Structure 1
Amino acid sequence: MSLRMALLTLLAGAPRSGYDIGQEFDGVLKFVWHAKPTQVYPELKRLAADRLIREQDEGSRGRRPYEITDEGMRVLRTWLLASDTDHSQRNETVLRSFALWVVPPQEAVAYLREEREYHRARLRGMRALKNGLNLRLAPDRAALLGVEAGIRRLEAMVSWADWAIETVSTWPTGMAGTGRPASGGTDRRGGNPGIRPR
């Protein structure tokens, strides 16, 4: 998903200022798409130049909300129904777990506990967002689908962290980083690098 589509999705629900959009990226969209203000504002300008959104008159606190245009809605619908979903993803927590064998088990456990607390805090926030949705509104009814996906993903991460802490706690103490194959490719026993037969 591009930042462009994320912005059009937000603005299809209701007009928003750049500040409002930033708050959304720190809230309901945080687990789906990360964007900094330095990315959001230039993209809003590009969307306006392409006539997919337009600025409204100045509102409260001197902010100028953006609203989606008919062409912007057409582009959003085309993206939603006529393009393939990008399933690529990055998860640094899981990526780091692949490298935890290079540190002592107690340090690996400490890292996993921190990650568990982080995901627990996020989970509390997502549940609060869910409780704040107004399901009489169509955008909030659709938002419920995404928020619930976030809740279930975070629940899974907390459960995984519990399991990982228990598993790493059984690793033998001693020198970290042992058992690495001497050369790249397969090791001398014919297995994959870093994977030791039982």
Structure 2
Amino acid sequence: MTVGIVVFPGSNCDRDVRWALEGCLGLQTRFLWHEERDLSGLEAVVLPGGFSYGDYLRCGAIARFAPVLEELRHFAERGGPVLGICNGFQVLTEMGLLPGALTRNERLHFLCEPADLQVEPGSCRWLQNYGEGERIALPIAHGEGRFQVDPEQLAALEDRGQVVLRYAANPNGSMGDVAGLTNAGGNVLGLMPHPERACDPLTGGTDGQRMLASLLG
């Protein structure tokens, strides 16, 4: 299996994702520069964390126009697995592949700390290795991770089972304690925590490894 990892100017977690996929799981990876359009041969795509285009205007607002994302949209619409981590989640909302927006944290501080999460996997392709209601811990590192959406739309997302990760203790003011969302098809997942940083006991745990290992079937 070969997984594409999109790289924007300002990405800084692309190598972390490659290390987790190759070093921990033995998968092959291919970096996709933001100007590329060729996704042939890829079986999944990851949008990593960082500061795409310097986070000018707002996080993900410029990245949404990158040529590679035109092809990513088609890939996702065909059912291809897509994972957006932190800045990648922000990009997915800017593209409209996931609803809502990620805004400044409630207290306007950058947060870098472990986060306890509750998993509600439903039909999400990326979370099938977790049990319903399972508690896991993943690190967060963001200044704009506060999920916001119309209350009616949040209720609809919850009714459809698209809220798949919640903070056990909300660190940033996200509506509904939302830490991660999936699309209606379950193949696209956006989350603010970093699973690639929780793949080795030496770095604090392996709860994130099971998320990436879902690609192994």
Give the shorter-chain TM-score range. Answer: under 0.3
* Max Rg structure: 1
Higher strand share: 2
TM-score (norm 2): 0.24
